Amino acid sequence: MKLLSRLASAAALVTAIQGLSPHAHASVVIAGTRVVYNQADSEVTVKLTNNGKLPGLTKVWIDKGDADAKPDTIDVPFTINPPMMRIDPGKSQTLRIMSTGEPLSGDNESVLYLNVLEVPPKPTGDEASANQLQLAFRTRIKFFYRPTALSGQPSDAPGLIVWHLKRDGGQNMIVANNPTQYHVSFDRIQVVNGAQKAEFTDGGMVAPGETKAFAIKGDVPAAGAKVHYTAINDYGGPQDGDASLAP
């Protein structure tokens, strides 16, 4: 119970703690920046590796989109084995994620989030009395559940986005309408017209059937403008493309 309490407290405070040290990094890292679970899969595996010099006590869970939800209050149709582990320096641990069989939407791809919380070991000996700050780190990546009945290919989805320019409250916006059954994640969106360019560089995602507006920096005439985007594929790599603005 003390261990669970320690992990729960770390999960609640991790964002604030990380904010105190922007140049610190987690020792336990995930192999990949997203997970894709196809409905036909019996399970998916995710590799964690401790690149640090100390053992890492790690708790893993999946949330539905609320980053602040407590792990013991979340109900998702997946199980993770092991849900909690110690990973020694230079060692790896493979997670097995399995569906419980409870249904998710079969009409569209669903997105959840995989959380990996690393808590450093409790100091002992001389370290226990020293003045030091221990940092807990949480890594949170997208977890896509992909039904078998979806049409088309996820790699084609960025090219099917319908783009519009609009102005809202004095701010230029690029509007993306996603008619596909897949989520589309963007790293960068540029609107280019000759030598003029406006862009959005903060990264964002458009859900299936969603229309989403992104604030762009710059001013570009809509007539004759083109959209250049960098989407993120299933492997976390860039997928560049170009599109015209819809009339």
User: What pLDDT, on a 0 to 100 scale, did the predictor assign at position 240?
Assistant: 98
Angle at 143 between CA 38 and CA 105, to 5 degrees: 60
Q: Which residues pair with 206 in a beta bridge?
A: 184
Bin 209: left if φ > 0, else alpha if -120 < ψ < 50, else beta: left
User: What pLDDT, on a 0 to 100 scale, did the predictor assign at position 26?
Assistant: 83
CATH superfamily, with its number, for domain 2-146: Immunoglobulins (2.60.40.10)
User: Which residue positions in the chain have pLDDT lower than 70?
Assistant: 1-24, 123-134
User: What pLDDT, on a 0 to 100 scale, did the predictor assign at position 24?
Assistant: 57
pLDDT for 190-204, tens place per residue?
A: 999 999 999 999 999
Domains of the chain: which residue ranges? 2-146, 154-241
User: What pLDDT, on a 0 to 100 scale, did the predictor assign at position 17?
Assistant: 41
pLDDT for 125-165, tens place per residue?
A: 555 555 666 678 999 999 999 999 999 999 999 999 999 99
User: What pLDDT, on a 0 to 100 scale, did the predictor assign at position 136?
Assistant: 84
User: What pLDDT, on a 0 to 100 scale, did the predictor assign at position 20?
Assistant: 40
Q: Are 2-146 and 154-241 in the same CATH fold?
A: yes
Architecture of the structural domain at 154-241: Sandwich (2.60)
This prediction has a pTM of 0.86
User: What pLDDT, on a 0 to 100 scale, did the predictor assign at position 1?
Assistant: 45
